[in-house]
Amino acid sequence: MAVTLKSRKDIAILRDAGRIVAETYEALLPHIVPGVTTGDLDHIAEDFIRKSNALPMYKGYGALRDRRGNIVRPPFPASICVAINEVICHGIPTSRRVLQEGDIIGVDIGTLYKGWVGDSCRTFTVGKVDPASQRLVDVARRSLELGIEQAQPGHHLGDIGAAIQTYAESQGFSTVRELAGHGVGRALWEDPSVLHFGKAGTGLRIEVGMVFTIEPMINAGKPDIRTLDDQWTIVTADGKRSAQFEHSMAITEQGPELLTVL
C-alpha cells in the first residue's frame, strides 16, 4: 500500500474541491422532492459544478476492458451517482426515474478542481418517509460520525471500521463489506482502503497528511450485494433499503478536518 501524504498546500486545494461538493448539495436540496427525476438532479448538479470552475469527476469515469480490449463496463454516463431505496451506490440518473414520496436517495458527488478531487455522499428523505427508513438514515449518518471520531493520528484504520460495525450491528443493521472508503488526491481512488468493518487496533496506522474518505453503506437487511446489468448499479441482494453518508477528510495534528463541508 503506497499512501501519499498531502502537504498543507495540497490540502488547501482539496478543501476548495470539497467546498464545491458541499455547495452543490445546497443547490440540489430544494429539488429533492416528489415529482423530480434523477436526471433533473444530474443536470442541476453538473451545471452548478461547471459554473464553479470545476469538472464533474464521475462523468466518463471508470470504463473497463477485457484482455481483448472489449468494453465490459462503459464509462459512467452522468455527473452524480444516485441510490434510491435498495440501491447501495453507483446508480445512474435518468429522466425515467421520478422521485416518489417516501423514497430515500443517496446522492454521491465528485468534483475535480485544479487537478484535485472532492468526494462526498449524503442520503436524503423524499417527503415523509416511514419510521424504519428514517431510522436507517439516522443510523447511517451516526455511523459516519463515529468513524470520523476514530480518524486520529496514531490510531489504526481498523479502529474506524470497528466503530462503524459495532454501532450499526448494535442497531440491527449491517454494513457492506465489499465496498470501502479510499484515499483522495489527484485521483478519485488512492490508497489507503478504509473498511467499514474490522477489529480495533489493526490495519494501517493513521498519519498526519493522509486524506481519505469514510463512507459507510448501511443496509436494513443483510450485507450482501449484487450488481445490475448496467455494470454500475449496486443493490442489496435481499431488496431491502440502504443508506450512505460520506466525507473526505484530511488528518491533521488536531485530528480529522472535514473537507466536504461549507
Residue of higher predicted confidence among 66 and 173: 173
pLDDT tens column, 66-96: 899 898 899 999 999 999 999 999 999 999 9
At residue 158, the pLDDT reads: 98
User: Residue 243: what residue type?
Assistant: A
At residue 72, the pLDDT reads: 86
Please give the average per-residue pLDDT across 105-109, as a whole number. 98
Would you say residue 144 has pLDDT above 90?
yes
Please give the average per-residue pLDDT across 133-146, as a whole number. 98
Would you say residue 173 has pLDDT above 90?
yes
Instruction: Please classify residue 27 by burial: count the beta carbons closer than 10 Å to its beta carbon, then call 0-12 exposed, 13-18 middle and 19+ buried.
Output: middle
Give the CATH class of 8-258: alpha beta
Would you say residue 262 has pLDDT above 90?
yes
At residue 124, the pLDDT reads: 98
Would you say residue 32 has pLDDT above 80?
yes
Please give the average per-residue pLDDT across 87-114, as a whole number. 98
| Mean confidence (pLDDT) of the chain | 97
Distance in angstroms (rounded) separating the CA atoms of residues 87 and 246 = 16
Confidence band for 3, pLDDT divided at 50, 70 and 90? very high
The answer, yes or no, to whether the previous bond of 192 is cis (omega within 30 of 0) is yes
Ramachandran area for residue 154 (φ above 0: left; ψ -120 to 50: alpha; else beta): left
At residue 189, the pLDDT reads: 95
Contacts of 182 (CB under 8 A, 6+ apart): 188, 189, 190, 191, 192, 193, 194, 212, 213
Cell 498526519 -> residue? 208
Pure H helices in 34-109: 38-51
Q: Where are the domains of the chain?
A: 8-258
Distance in angstroms (rounded) separating the CA atoms of residues 207 and 215 = 19
Would you say residue 1 has pLDDT above 90?
no
Please give the average per-residue pLDDT across 8-12, as a whole number. 98
At residue 193, the pLDDT reads: 98
Distance in angstroms (rounded) separating the CA atoms of residues 243 and 234 = 12
Would you say residue 196 has pLDDT above 80?
yes
Q: Report the relative pairing of strands 255-258 and 190-194 from DSSP bridges.
A: unpaired
Residues 120, 248 contacting (CB under 8 angstroms): yes
